[in-house]
């Protein structure tokens, strides 16, 4: 009887998860349409339906669509990276920051902002405005590789060492960042502050094209890691016993997170909250099974960031609010409220 009850429970869950997936896909579509149809100029979807004027074409193709695409891409990448990290570290507080992506990318960005002027003129002109995203991506990637090396011994990666080394590396990156902040002038300081709060205002098709090959494969292939991450939840030894190559799993997961989270931090700056909260919300709704969690996280992360961006660019129009402020300001209280609602039902 007990076995039977558990089976139906699992079936219920997968039916529910499939419904949640459908609902989230619908939500993303609605958020996308809302995003295309709103903005400071007041040009609406209906205005666009009856043919595009030159101005409407500019607003649609050069402003709103790139923002929508970048918001969806970054939101999905952050949420999936968060879910992958939490699965790998078996810790609900893990996020891409733990593998050094955040600290490394932050250091890269600060280096580029403060010392970018020292580059030889020819190199500076060639890489130009893409220097900050490029340096952020390199920084995130370098930090992840360094951590991975630090935590590897005899072909096996100690997740606990990686966690601790990540904290140490974060402190080191923070100190170097501090030195650079001290060297920065007024304008650079303001640039740093705005970078840290994240924004999609610099959205462009070029940035999307550059980050697409790093983010989309991770989103598309992440469900292949689901079985391994589910097994890992039982413990590393247990996962090995049921035939999971845990070392390979760890390697692929870490590199995938470094690529997708690194690319999103590079193009959109520091956007908190999505990576940690989206997987939590979904676990509350459909349980911890990564087969459902990973695709749903991509959809929910994308929808939430697209939605947050609508607020970011309309609340203070014609100015705009850094999107990291919106995600935290709106998201954190909602998340707390959900936690308090669930407390009566029992634990996470």
Partner 1 sequence: MIRPSLASLHLGLIAGLGVAALATFALADTPKPRVVSLGGSVTETIVALGAEDLLVGRDSTSNYPESVLALPDVGYIRALSPEGVLSLTPDLILSEDGAGPVEAVAVLQAGGIPFVTMPGSFSAQGVLDKITSVAAALNLEAEGAALADKTAAGFAAAAARADAVTAPQSVLFVISLQGGRVMAGGEGSSAAGIIALGGGVNAVSGFDGYKQITDEAVIAAAPDVILMMDRGGDLALSAEDVQATPALAATPAAKAGRIIRMDGMLLLGFGPRTPDAALALNAALYGG
**Per-residue mark of binding to partner 1, 144-183 (x: CB under 8 A):** --------------------------------------x-
Kindly state whether residue 198 participates in binding partner 1, applying the rule CB under 8 A. no
Using the minimum distance from each CB to partner 1, give the nearer residue, 201 or 338: 201
Which residue lies nearer to partner 1 by CB, 236 or 320?
A: 320
Q: Specify whether the CB–CB gap between 219 and 77 falls below 8 A.
A: yes
Position 186 contacts partner 1 (CB under 8 A) = yes
**Minimum distance from CB of 56 to partner 1 (Å)?**
11
Who contacts 290 (Cβ-Cβ below 8 Å, separation ≥6)?
83, 87, 223, 225, 226, 227, 229, 230
When binding is defined by CB under 8 A, the residue of 154, 155, 318, 346 that contacts partner 1 is 318
Non-local CB neighbours of 106 within 8 Å, separated by 6+ positions? 136, 139, 173, 177, 196, 265, 270
The pattern of x and - marking residues 101 through 140 that bind partner 1 according to CB under 8 A reads: ---------------------------xx-----------
Which of the residues 328 through 347 are near partner 1 (CB under 8 A)?
none
Residues binding partner 1: number (CB under 8 A): 32
Q: Does 62 bind partner 1 (CB under 8 A)?
A: yes
50 binds partner 1 (CB under 8 A): no
Neighbours of 54 (CB within 10 A): 7
Cβ contacts of 308 within 8 Å, gap of 6 or more: 71, 323, 326, 327, 330, 331
In degrees and rounded to multiples of 5, residue 173 shows phi and psi of -60, -40
Q: What's the full length of the chain, in residues?
A: 348
| 192 is a contact residue toward partner 1 (CB under 8 A) | no
Cite the beta strand spans of 22-140 per DSSP E: none
Q: How far is the CB of 132 from partner 1 (least distance, A)?
A: 9
| Partners of 156 in the β-ladder | 153
Among 190, 248, 342, 343, binds partner 1 (CB under 8 A): 190
β-pair type (156-157, 152-153): antiparallel
Q: How far is the CB of 111 from partner 1 (least distance, A)?
A: 18
Q: Residue 98 has which token pair?
A: 């733990």
**33 binds partner 1 per the rule CB under 8 A:** no
Span near partner 1 by CB under 8 A; candidates 45-53, 81-89, 189-197, 326-334: 189-197
Question: What is the Cα–Cα distance from 137 to 316, expressed in whole angstroms?
Answer: 30
Minimum distance from residue 188 beta carbon to partner 1 (Å): 9
C-alpha angle 17-18-19 in degrees, rounded to nearest 5? 90
Coil, strand or helix: which one is 133?
A: helix
Stretch that binds partner 1, among 26-34, 62-70, 99-107, 250-258 (CB under 8 A): 62-70
**Contact pick of 151, 203, 285, 302 for partner 1 (by CB under 8 A):** 203
Q: Which is nearer to partner 1, 128 or 344 (CB)?
A: 128
Q: Helices (DSSP H) in 184-287: which residue ranges?
A: 186-197, 205-221, 226-232, 236-241, 246-268, 274-286
Residues that bind partner 1 (CB under 8 A): 39-42, 55, 58-59, 62-64, 128-129, 182, 185-187, 190-191, 194, 199, 201-204, 207, 313, 316-320, 322
């Amino acid at each position: 009887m007990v076995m039977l009850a558990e089976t139906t429970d699992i079936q219920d869950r997968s039916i529910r998860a499939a419904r949640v997936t459908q609902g989230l896909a619908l939500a993303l579509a609605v958020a996308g349409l809302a995003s295309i149809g709103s903005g400071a100029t007041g040009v609406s979807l209906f205005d666009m339906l009856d043919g595009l004027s030159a101005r409407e074409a500019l607003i649609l193709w050069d402003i709103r669509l790139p923002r929508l695409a970048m918001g969806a891409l970054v939101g999905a990448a952050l949420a999936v990276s968060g879910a992958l990290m939490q699965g790998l570290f078996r810790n609900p507080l893990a996020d891409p920051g733990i593998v050094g992506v955040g600290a490394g990318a932050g250091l890269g960005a600060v280096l580029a902002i403060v010392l970018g002027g020292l580059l030889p003129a020819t190199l500076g002109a060639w890489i130009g405005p893409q220097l900050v995203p490029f340096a952020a991506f390199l920084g995130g990637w370098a930090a992840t590789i360094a951590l991975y090396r630090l935590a590897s011994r005899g072909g096996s990666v100690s997740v606990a060492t990686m966690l601790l080394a990540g904290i140490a590396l974060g402190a080191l990156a923070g100190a170097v960042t501090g030195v650079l902040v001290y060297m920065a002038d007024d304008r650079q300081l303001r640039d740093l502050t705005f970078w840290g709060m994240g924004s999609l205002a610099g959205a462009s098709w070029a940035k999307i094209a550059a980050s697409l090959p790093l983010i989309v494969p991770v989103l598309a292939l992440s469900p292949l890691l689901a079985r391994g991450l589910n097994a890992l939840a039982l413990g590393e030894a247990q996962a090995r016993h049921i035939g999971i190559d845990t070392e390979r799993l760890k390697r692929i997961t870490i590199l995938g997170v470094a690529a997708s989270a690194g690319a999103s931090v590079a193009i959109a700056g520091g956007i908190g909250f999505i990576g940690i909260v989206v997987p939590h919300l979904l676990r509350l709704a459909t349980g911890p099974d990564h087969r459902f969690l990973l695709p749903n996280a991509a959809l929910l992360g994308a929808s939430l960031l697209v939605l947050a961006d609508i607020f970011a660019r309309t609340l203070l129009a014609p100015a705009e609010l850094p999107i990291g402020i919106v995600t935290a300001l709106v998201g954190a209280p909602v998340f707390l409220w959900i936690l308090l609602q669930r407390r009566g039902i029992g634990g996470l």
